[in-house]
């Protein structure tokens, strides 16, 4: 065992430095947020919508930076949110009025928006100053660069998200599983759907800084899918998914501290993939296999 | 314009067209098989495949590239198939579970064991079409020939197996082998296009021209031709615009493809009135 490796691992756990505390806090918080909101996305069959939205934040980030010239995180986040919501609107329009197939419309929206962001990147990297470094952090995520204020804002958003989930649990549950029954029970499943989708955009934008926009979708899908394997109750699923997301966030921040050059985002996703593989492997040993003889595609 | 004298522009145009044609051809097949998001997965998992090839051989050209594509295609499709077979995993989630993990492994790999390989994140995501080396130009040419030959010569059995899998199986076509072959070709194109135009622009050239061509064409052959023309047009328009406006070339190509898609969508929407229930 490498002594330097062990030394750095213990150094992180001692939480001696403030930036270590804040990076761990923000990674855990982002993991929990993604875990909780990911459950609704996976249950609604929107697993890949998170991927498209996350990629679609890039043009917003670039435009916000180019137009205002500031790399203040509030400005960048605002741009990212605007373009994420815009991508969702285009996706909705393509599927509803364009008659495009769901999988193709996802790929088209993802590629077009990200392409626009990539096109603008030339201008961003051509601009002087440390400002562009702020944008680079969004691509692969860098929890270590989170300031204390941002970490506390993230924590506040997590608390708000959990409170909203608890408050509207019944409405969310009914309109996810049975929209017609939800309507009969006096809820408005259409509004719930729009609200959940908008909330997804907000969570994605908040998570982009810590996980990176390429990998946000994985943190939405992996903890939720793992929790859905284990539990049959929605409340337990939400709890497990949130806990797993937080755990992955912690491990990601830890690994990023131990090995120089390893970004937080990829480390989080590798950890989540490992947990999923273990749980899925264990489950297929325990539970009998599904019929998969006649399934198209793969 | 002085631009016409610049050899780098012609090189970039050549490389762009070499990438665009196989991307468009394989993109049509993926589109019709409702596997557009597999293009997303394969274009990302090209990274761990390349890294493995580099770790094994120390090369990032020729046969190593080919082996990397083979490994990434086989591993990705096998893992997605495996995850789909796990009880109670959502079908669409399987793709979203597998490829980010493989891509992350690749990213962690290049920042630890693969520091010596010339793979950096900006290049992976955005590509560097204005600075292509001869080796990647030849490499892409070597990818182009088998893809064009296979898709064009085998387009009838390919269409049969794509549109009616059951009947094709009864008629004795090796349906599973065709599916695997399509995914392998897609991975090969992704890997070939990787260092020239990057991950997500590859996805753009694979999916957008195919979706546009589907709205225009009335037969499989027409769709293949239309997709190729659209992709080459997007590459040319995008490249010239990017040079004139100082934008990233690869991203501008994708934006050009998206604009062409928008124009065609607007043009054809007056004649067709299909409505589908939206997912979001």
pLDDT band at A133 (very low <50, low <70, confident <90, very high): low
> Can you give the pLDDT at residue A293?
38
Indicate yes or no: CB of B207 within 8 angstroms of CB of A42. Answer: no
Q: Which tokens go with B44?
A: 């990302």
Q: Is B280 on the interface with A (CB under 8 A)?
A: yes
Q: Which of A116, A119, A291 should one mutate to test binding to chain B, selecting the residue with the greatest count of B CBs within 10 A?
A: A119
> Can you give the pLDDT at residue A248?
93
Classified by CATH at the fold level, domain A4-277 comes out as ABC transporter involved in vitamin B12 uptake, BtuC (1.10.3470)
Distance from CA of A47 to the nearest CA of B (A): 5
Backbone CA torsion sign across A26, A28, A30, A32: negative
pTM of this structure: 0.85
Residue with more model confidence, A45 or A222: A222
Q: What is the pLDDT of residues A194-218, one digit of tens each?
A: 888 888 888 888 888 778 887 888 8
What is the value of ipTM here, to two decimals? 0.85
Chains A and B: how many Cβ contacts under 8 Å?
248
Nearest-by-Cβ selection for B208 from A103, A112, A197:
A112
Residue A241 Cα to chain centre, angstroms: 13
Q: What residue segments make up the domains of chain B, in order of their start? A: 2-270
Residue with more model confidence, B183 or A261: B183
Nearest-by-Cβ selection for B33 from A102, A287, A297:
A297
Could you tell me where the DSSP H helices lie in chain B? 7-32, 36-57, 62-85, 91-111, 121-126, 134-153, 155-163, 165-170, 175-197, 199-216, 220-245, 249-269
Nearest-by-Cβ selection for B107 from A55, A118, A266:
A266
Whole-number Å distance between alpha carbons of A67 and A131: 13
Indicate yes or no: CB of B258 within 8 angstroms of CB of A115. Answer: yes
> Can you give the pLDDT at residue A292?
42
> Can you give the pLDDT at residue B271?
67
Q: Is the pLDDT of residue A62 over 60?
A: yes
Q: Is the pLDDT of residue A1 over 70?
A: no
- Give the rounded percent of residues in chain A with a pLDDT score beyond 70: 89
Highest mean pLDDT out of A66-80, A266-280, B29-43: A266-280
Residue B76, helix vs strand vs coil? helix
CB environment A174-201: b (16+ within 10 A), e (fewer): bbbeebeebeeeebebeebbebbbebbb
Rounded mean pLDDT for each run of 10 residues along chain B, 280 residues in total:
71 89 92 84 84 79 73 85 80 84 87 71 72 78 87 88 86 85 86 76 90 90 94 93 87 93 85 50
Q: Which residues of A touch B247 (CB under 8 A)?
A: 119-120, 122-123
Q: Is B236 on the interface with A (CB under 8 A)?
A: no
- What lies within 8 Å, CB to CB, of B270 at 6+ separation is none
Q: Which residues of B touch A88 (CB under 8 A)?
A: 280
**Hey, what's the torsion of the CAs at B240, B245, B247, B249, to 10 degrees?**
0
> Can you give the pLDDT at residue A129?
54
Whole-number Å distance between alpha carbons of A277 and A297: 23
Selecting from 3.90.1150.10, 1.10.10.10, 1.10.3470.10, 3.30.420.610, what CATH number does the domain B2-270 have?
A: 1.10.3470.10
Residue with more model confidence, A220 or A99: A220
Q: Tokens 């690749």 correspond to what residue? A: B106
Q: Which residues of A touch B77 (CB under 8 A)?
A: 298
- Give the rounded percent of residues in chain A with a pLDDT score beyond 90: 22
Pick the residue from chain B with its C-alpha nearest to A85: B280
């Amino acid at each position: 065992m490498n002594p330097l490796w062990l030394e750095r691992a213990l150094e992180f756990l001692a939480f001696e430095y403030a930036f270590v505390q804040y990076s761990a806090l923000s990674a855990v918080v982002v993991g929990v947020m993604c875990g909780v909101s990911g459950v609704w996305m996976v249950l609604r069959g929107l697993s890949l919508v998170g991927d498209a939205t996350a990629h679609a934040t890039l043009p917003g980030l670039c435009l916000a930076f180019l137009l205002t010239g500031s790399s203040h995180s509030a400005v960048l986040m605002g741009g990212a949110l605007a373009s994420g919501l815009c991508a969702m609107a285009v996706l909705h329009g393509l599927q509803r009025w364009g008659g495009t197939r769901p999988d193709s419309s996802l790929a088209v929206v993802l590629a077009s928006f990200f392409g626009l962001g990539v096109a603008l990147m030339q201008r961003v990297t051509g601009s002087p100053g440390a400002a562009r470094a702020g944008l680079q952090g969004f691509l692969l995520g860098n929890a270590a660069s989170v300031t204390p204020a941002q970490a506390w804002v993230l924590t506040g958003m997590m608390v708000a998200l959990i409170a909203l989930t608890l408050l509207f649990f019944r409405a969310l549950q009914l309109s996810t599983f049975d929209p017609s029954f939800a309507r009969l029970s006096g809820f408005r499943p259409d509004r719930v759907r729009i609200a959940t989708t908008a909330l997804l955009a907000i969570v994605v934008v908040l998570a982009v800084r810590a996980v990176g926009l390429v990998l946000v979708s994985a943190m939405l899908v992996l903890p939720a899918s793992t929790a859905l394997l284990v539990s049959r109750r929605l409340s337990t699923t939400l709890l497990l998914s949130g806990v797993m997301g937080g755990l992955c966030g912690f491990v990601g921040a830890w690994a990023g501290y131990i090995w120089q050059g390893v970004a937080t985002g990829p480390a989080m996703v590798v950890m989540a993939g490992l947990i999923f593989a273990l749980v899925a492997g264990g489950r297929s040993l325990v539970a009998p296999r599904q019929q998969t003889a006649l399934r198209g595609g793969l | 314009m002085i631009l016409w004298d610049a050899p780098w522009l012609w090189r970039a145009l050549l490389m762009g067209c070499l990438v665009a044609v196989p991307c468009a051809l394989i993109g049509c097949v993926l589109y019709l098989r409702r596997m557009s998001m597999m293009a997303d997965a394969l274009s990302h998992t090209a990274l761990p495949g390349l890294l493995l090839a580099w770790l094994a051989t120390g090369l990032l050209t020729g046969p190593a590239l080919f082996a990397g594509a083979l490994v990434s295609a086989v591993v990705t499709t096998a893992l997605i198939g495996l995850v789909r077979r796990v009880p109670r995993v959502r079908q669409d989630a399987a793709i979203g579970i597998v490829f980010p993990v493989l891509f992350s492994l690749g990213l962690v790999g290049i920042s630890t064991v693969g520091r010596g390989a010339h793979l950096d994140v900006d290049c992976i995501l955005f590509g560097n079409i204005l600075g292509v080396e001869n080796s990647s130009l030849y490499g892409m040419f070597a990818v182009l020939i088998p893809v064009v030959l296979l898709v064009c010569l085998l387009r009838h059995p390919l269409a049969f197996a794509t549109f009616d899998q059951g009947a094709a199986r009864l008629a004795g076509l090796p349906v599973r082998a065709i599916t695997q072959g399509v995914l392998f070709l897609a991975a090969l194109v992704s890997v070939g296009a990787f260092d020239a135009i990057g991950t997500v622009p590859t996805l753009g050239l694979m999916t957008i021209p195919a979706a546009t061509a589907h709205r225009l064409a009335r037969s499989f052959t027409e769709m293949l031709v239309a997709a190729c023309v659209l992709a080459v047009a997007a590459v040319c328009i995008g490249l010239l615009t990017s040079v004139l406006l100082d934008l990233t070339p690869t991203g501008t190509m994708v934006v050009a493809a998206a604009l062409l898609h928008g124009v065609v969508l607007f043009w054809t929407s007056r004649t067709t009135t299909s409505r589908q229930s939206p997912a979001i």
